[in-house]
Copies of this chain bind each other. A is one copy, B any other.
Amino acid sequence: MKENKLKFMQEAITLASNNASSLGGGPFGAVVVKDGEIISSSGNTVTPDNDPTAHAEVNAIRMACKKLKTFDLSGCTLYTSCEPCPMCLSAAYWAKLDKIYYAADRHDAANAGFSDAFIYDQFDLPLEERTLPIERILKEKGFDPFNLWVENENKQPY
């Protein structure tokens, strides 16, 4: 089993390196594994796809869900060449992944010019000190969708 873990991580790192030495996208790669088999794998495609959410982990999660026809990846493990940014870590929670393995970390990414550590640090700041301003408006109408949702007997929770 230990050897398999290293093999899956090496696959994620190879995807990242292939991107890094081409025009593919950012130097990140990820693999989703279930029952010892690779379900999906992807590099980062932010620049070629014009999609700021197309990180390797998000891509691999989306592809695995499409393949398994579910929004619930319980029983799956994510191997990623670099510690997930807060977007990808949250995506892993929403996808109900069992475990995450990573090789490089947010500080290595920062040294190569990426904002992962910066965004993590933003989360710890009070709203008014963040670089991306965020403001609450129309608070009293914001409950309406949740009230309708709670009342809807045909809803599909996730």
Residues of A within 8 A of B (CB): 5-6, 9-10, 13, 16-17, 19-23, 25-29, 46-47, 49-53, 58, 61-62, 65-66, 69-73, 81-83, 85-105, 108-109, 111-113, 115, 119-120, 122-123, 131-139, 141-150, 152, 154-158
Contact = CB atoms under 8 A, between A and B. Distances in A.
A113 B157 contact: yes
How many protomers of this protein does the assembly include?
A: 2
A71 B54 CA distance: 10
Interface of chain A: mostly helix, strand, loop or mixed: mixed
11 contacts: A9-B141, A23-B154, A23-B156, A50-B69, A53-B91, A85-B90, A87-B94, A93-B132, A99-B133, A101-B135, A104-B145
